[in-house]
């Protein structure tokens, strides 16, 4: 029934790309939820992970609609690395200046934009047509996500924020690699009912009260020692 509904939308000339993105969204949010509450992989927020994932996916898509994994990995890595570096380093300087928060964020975004212009100029000099044609929507998404990175730095400090930022980028890359597989796209188009499954799985995950995988691995040695002591008490 759901597949028939999707086919009807496609026949009605609803862009397949729009349908794909709508079907991907609940699955991406499910992966973020699963990684947080089952695996124990902490990211900055569900929004930053989702935005970066779709920025990478949109960036890797050419005009014909084909997704090139290597483009998203390389271009996304360059764009996210330099944008994050500039935004966070600039925050160190701006922290010493008495300005309102939104003014600081706006200044940071302006500097990130300048850096991206410099990257585009460098790409034009080395005749890198792929980077020159960088998708503007993906660039804007990455720049906006920098605000979440800066906010994390202000609230949590350098060490913790860098770990969370690295976790967020890593999780986004994992999800992007999955979405970029053509077999995964075909599966989702043939089984759009995955949206319903994602709701059920989110309810199950949201009700989970046990140890996360990372916690289990962290406390495994303690558990083993406790078990050994209880089985073989000291005389």
Our CA dihedral for 137, 130, 143, 15, rounded to 10 degrees, sits at: 20
Q: Look-up: residue for tokens 């079907």?
A: 23
Parts of the chain with a pLDDT under 50: 227-228, 232, 235
Residue 53 in any domain: the answer is yes
223 domain residue, yes or no:
no
Whether residue 66 is contained in a domain is answered as: yes
CB 40 within 8 A of CB 213: yes
Task: Determine the pLDDT at residue 227.
Answer: 45
First to last CA, the chain: 69
Range of the domain at 140: 2-209
- Tell me the pLDDT tens digit for each residue of 190-225: 888 999 999 999 999 988 887 788 777 777 666 555
How far, CA to CA in Å, does 210 sit from each of 2, 32, 124, 205? 34, 18, 53, 10
Task: For residue 85, count other CB atoms closer than 10 A to its CB.
Answer: 12
**Residue 217 domain-assigned (yes or no):** no
176 lies in a domain? yes
Q: Residue 27, CB half-sphere, CA atoms under 13 Å: how many?
A: 22
In a domain, 218, yes or no: no
- Work out the number of other CB atoms within 10 angstroms of the CB of residue 206: 9
Nearest-angstrom CA–CA distance, 76 and 87: 16
Residue 160 vs residues 44, 151, 156, 211: alpha-carbon distances, Å: 10, 12, 6, 22
Task: Give pLDDT, residue 130.
Answer: 65
CA 233 from centre of chain: 48
User: Per residue in 159-172, pLDDT tens?
Assistant: 888 888 899 999 99
93 is a domain residue: yes
3-state DSSP helix/strand/coil % of the chain, to nearest 5? 80, 0, 20
Query: What 3-state DSSP class applies to 61?
Result: strand
What's the rounded Cα separation, in Å, for the pair 35 and 39? 5
Task: Read off the tokens for 208.
Answer: 């989970």
- CA angle centred on 214, ends 24 and 200, rounded to 5°: 35
Q: How many distinct structural domains can be found in the chain?
A: 1
Q: Let me know: does 75 contact 59? Beta carbons within 8 Å.
A: yes
- Quick check: is 92 in a domain? yes
């Amino acid at each position: 029934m759901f597949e028939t509904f999707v086919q009807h939308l496609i026949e009605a000339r609803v862009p397949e790309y729009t349908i794909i993105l709508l079907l991907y969204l609940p699955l991406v949010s499910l992966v973020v939820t699963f990684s947080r509450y089952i695996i124990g992989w902490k990211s900055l927020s569900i929004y930053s992970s989702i935005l970066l994932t779709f920025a990478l996916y949109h960036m890797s898509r050419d005009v014909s609609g084909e997704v090139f994994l290597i483009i998203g990995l390389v271009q996304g890595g360059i764009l996210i690395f330099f944008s994050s570096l500039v935004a966070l380093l600039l925050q160190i300087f701006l922290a010493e200046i008495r300005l309102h928060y939104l003014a600081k964020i706006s200044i940071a975004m302006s500097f990130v934009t300048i850096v991206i212009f410099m990257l585009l100029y460098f790409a034009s000099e080395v005749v890198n047509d792929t980077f020159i044609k960088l998708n503007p929507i993906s660039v804007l998404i990455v720049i906006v996500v920098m605000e979440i990175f800066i906010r994390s730095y202000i609230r949590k400090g350098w060490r913790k924020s860098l770990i969370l930022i690295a976790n967020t980028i890593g999780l986004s890359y994992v999800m992007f690699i999955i979405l970029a597989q053509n077999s995964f796209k075909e599966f989702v188009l043939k089984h759009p009912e995955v949206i319903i499954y994602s709701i059920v799985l989110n309810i199950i995950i949201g009700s989970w009260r046990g140890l996360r995988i990372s916690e289990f691995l962290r406390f495994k040695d303690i558990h083993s020692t406790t078990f050994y002591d209880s089985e073989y008490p000291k005389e």
